Amino acid sequence: MTECLEAGEITHTDAVEKTREAVLRTLDRTAKSRSDLERSLALKGYPQEVAEAVLDRLTEVGLIDDAALASSIVRTRHTERGLSRRAIAQELRRKGIPEEIATQALEQVDDAGEQDACAVLAARLLARTRGQDHSARVRKAVSALARRGYGAGLAYGAVNDALEREASSEAVNE
């Protein structure tokens, strides 16, 4: 589109309108960060100055809101998928959320909440491997927790606690 605008084939107003429509179509499907939208428009050949003007206006009216998007990502990734703050922070970085906005959004997850989520995940992961070798169960569970961003110390602690709870409940049932 940049070439068309420079060649005079379309007017600046038409370029703005086409850019606005492209952004609105994208936002109609899913929320995106401003950075994601900038990258997408650049890849599609939209003029940078036109894209910035459109994104500024849509940010001004609240259709692009990186803070709300970051908050939503933190809430859903932590509660539904059990991701750690570190894993969520990486996702926010990939999506181009500014660091200060990401930091504010990540404050929703405190240490206790992260430990609880890790414990729940550890118990769920260990339940899938009942009857297998003890060391294999530990290795698999800790590895799965690490892939979700939990540190080794927290992961091992959660797995050991879950194994102790599992052993004590089996002892009670006998």
Closest by alpha carbon to 83, among 124, 117, 107, 120?
117
pTM for the full model? 0.80
Judged by DSSP in three states, 65 sits in coil
Residue-level pLDDT, tens digit, the chain, 174 residues: 666 666 667 788 888 899 999 999 999 999 999 999 999 999 998 999 999 999 999 999 999 999 999 999 999 999 888 899 999 999 999 999 999 999 999 999 998 989 999 999 999 999 999 889 999 999 999 999 999 999 999 999 999 999 999 888 776 666
What is the b/e burial string over 40-54, where b = at least 16 CB atoms within 10 angstroms of the residue's CB?
ebeeeebbeebbebb
Sign, Cα dihedral of 24, 99, 142, 163: negative
Can you list the positions of beta strands (E) in 49-150? none
Q: How far is CA 35 from CA 11, 18, 31, 114, in A?
A: 26, 19, 12, 28
CA separation for the pair 64, 60 (Å, rounded): 8
